[in-house]
Amino acid sequence: MTPILDDLTPQQRAAAIQSGPTLVIAGAGTGKTKTLTAAVAHRIAVLNIPPARILAVTFTNKAAGEMTSRIKAALGEAMAPRWTGTFHGLGARQLRIEPEVADLRPNFDILDADDTRRMIKRVMKGMNLHSDEDRAGGAKDPIKIVCNRISKWKDELVIPRDAPAVAESAITSANRDGFPVDANSLRTCAKVYLEYQHMLQDANAADFGDLLLWPVRAMMQDRVYRDRWAGRFDRVLADEYQDVNRAQYTWLRMLSAEHKEIFAVGDDDQSIFGWRGADIKYIRRFTHDFPGAAQIRLEENFRSTGHILAAANGIIRRDHGRLGKTLFTRKAAGTPIEIVRFTSGETEAAEITHEIIRHHAEGEGWGNFAILYRGNALSRVFEEGLMCGKVPYTIVGDVGFYHRAEIKDTLALLRLVVSPEDRQSDEAFRRVINTPARGFGAKTMTLVEQEAAWRRVSLLQALETVQLPPKTRGAALVFADAIRNVGRQTGATVADLLSLILDASGYRKMLRDSQAETVEGRLDNVQELIQLAGSFHTPRELLDHAALSSNAPGEDASDTVKLMTLHRAKGLEFPHVFLVAWENGLFPPLYGDQDEERRLAYVGVTRGMKRITITHASFRRGPATPSHFLEDIPEANRVHGWHDHPPSSRPAFRHAEVA
């Protein structure tokens, strides 16, 4: 025990040994994992709580594994708690012990997201509901809408028989308040939920949502069951409390209702996942839920410099309702926050690439740099800049721009336009002939391929003679005519060709008509490609450029510049962070919870260890204005332009300008 406690600051130690209900408000970079681990070890080694009577839960297997390994290193293999894991993992263990609460039998299967999707698709087809994602090329995705709604209901502890009433209540409330709502979709989801749950039970299977839904519902309704489970544990410890949803929150409360020995670690300033069910109110009402609870703040940051923390404190201070804390460090002030303005997004990417190359030449590894953006559509221009500078990079948590479905679809259409009669274009044909849907399922494609092989022509040419049902044949010939007509547009630029074929093929209309949650981002990505195409003289140049854009197979990702969204960056740290496209409308966006967007800005700034550069453009698909978040960074902690050299010393990028 001594090494663990001796390695803590006074604040961390005070938190680790606190008894009773305790909320540790652990700021970014303040050592929350170390504190949580010490708290578990203290309860075992000092308070003599048997390891089997301690439950410690977090959100990722990685975090749970790290906690367990640290405890084993300090106390020995036999002293590690048996109930340490993720919410889903521990919920599954509970359900396996008493599966009957979910009307399941022993040895039930647990479905992953793909299994769930396939089962819901079968349910929808059986109910004669539109469920063929192929008919809309994967853009209009009713299955995903239903999957997401059912998952959300389970997280909110809504069981199937209550779903219709919940849906009607949501429709009534939305109509009363003047909010847009798809009433038919909600009612459909409720119907599917009922049938889907019957199918799960018949198959003796549970999806992820079931793993907490049914144990929690049982604890709410059956006092004997609740006492049996709550009586298993003398201490409950929870990580990332700011991210819990209703099911997770209720589960923790039920398990600790009698002894009140709950130890929660979290940071309301880093609550950024409201869009996927996390509810910030639970961490902010902790002392209400557990009267007399201790609140201990961890405010000493071991990651960042003084200027970075001052900037972060300035930004988050305007989030009203926060529990409150002020990060500080014993490190030097370091480099002020660099705020750099550029004329355009392309210049922004080129300058950042140049800056990374300059620092790399001075001895910095590529892996010391990260470029963080609000939405995935913004990655393209920075990929382009890094590719041109021959800088190795890795897209974290997302596929590269040229590997996104809508980009590959659009490039396939362009390839067909360029050489419709060439069999080299057959793969492009296979990709887009049914996007949007034209009746080309597996059987129809077999007929087309047989005709093409017999005639020794391209698949597009085979459409002229293959015997198909009238409706399918008509749609196919319209598609073929659209391809050829666009190809005859002499003098059209590459960007013009892309725009013309997107409209002529119906692909752009398909995206616009989509109900998918990702539609806005997909349209943005297509528009980015059209804008990019303006810099190429021929379609072949663009196609070759896209084909060569991926990182080399087997490339060591550890020493590469990291590109990722701000959400994906939570929990990570880098010596030098570029926070890009901080413009009103992009960050913060016009939609969504503005307080959560502010917390997202705070998370972004606190990823930096030594240096933060925030950039924005004067023009990005139109005139742009700097994010109002920049106004909250104290003047004493920022510098306008690059800190250590003037832009004029870099003639290769004369279009850059600084604020």
User: Half-sphere exposure of residue 320, counting CA atoms within 13 Å on the CB side?
Assistant: 1
Q: What's the pLDDT score for residue 13?
A: 95
What would the 3-class secondary structure string for 497-536 be?
HHHHHHHHCCHHHHHHHCCCCCHHHHHHHHHHHHHHHCCC
Residues 6 or more apart whose Cβ sits within 8 Å of residue 329: 300, 301, 302, 303, 304, 305, 306, 309
- The segments of the chain whose pLDDT lies below 70 read 1-3, 114, 131-140, 398-400, 517, 547-557, 646-659
Which is it for strands 262-266 and 574-579: parallel, antiparallel or unpaired?
Answer: unpaired
Distances (CA, A) of 197 to 111, 189, 201, 294: 12, 12, 6, 41
| Of residues 370, 197, 340, 349, the one with CA closest to residue 643 | 340
- Three-class DSSP category at 462: helix
Q: What's the pLDDT score for residue 203?
A: 77
Residues facing residue 395 across a β-bridge: 563
Q: What's the pLDDT score for residue 497?
A: 94
- Tell me how many helices (H) and strands (E) the chain has: 28, 15
| Of residues 426, 428, 368, the one with CA closest to residue 560 | 368
Distances (CA, A) of 280 to 246, 284, 317, 559, 601: 11, 7, 16, 36, 16
> How does DSSP classify residue 560?
S
Q: What's the pLDDT score for residue 114?
A: 66
- Contact in structure between 312 and 327 (CB atoms under 8 Å): yes
Q: Please list the active-site residues.
A: 32-33, 239-240, 270, 607
Domains and CATH numbers, the chain: 2-95+213-298 (3.40.50.300), 109-203 (no CATH), 306-400+552-653 (3.40.50.300), 403-547 (1.10.486.10)
d(CA 600, CA 271): 8
Q: What's the pLDDT score for residue 647?
A: 53
Q: What's the pLDDT score for residue 398?
A: 58
**Residue 554: Cβ-neighbour burial (10 angstroms; 0-12, 13-18, 19+):** exposed
d(CA 96, CA 210): 12
How many Cβ atoms are within 10 Å of 253's Cβ, its own excluded? 17
Which string of DSSP letters, residue by residue, matches 277-302? T--THHHHTHHHHSTT-EEEEE-B-S
How many Cβ atoms are within 10 Å of 51's Cβ, its own excluded? 17
Q: What's the pLDDT score for residue 1?
A: 55
* Lookup: tokens for 47: 């308070």
Distances (CA, A) of 569 to 370, 456, 475, 580, 602: 9, 52, 45, 14, 12
* Lookup: tokens for 415: 């390839």
- Contact in structure between 300 and 328 (CB atoms under 8 Å): yes
Reported for 141-144, long-range contacts at CB under 8 A and 24+ positions apart, including other chains, are 141/514, 141/515, 141/516, 142/515, 143/117, 144/117, 144/516, 144/517
Q: What's the pLDDT score for residue 138?
A: 40
Which string of DSSP letters, residue by residue, matches 41-92? HHHHHTS---GGGEEEEES-HHHHHHHHHHHHHHH-GGGS-SEEEEHHHHHH
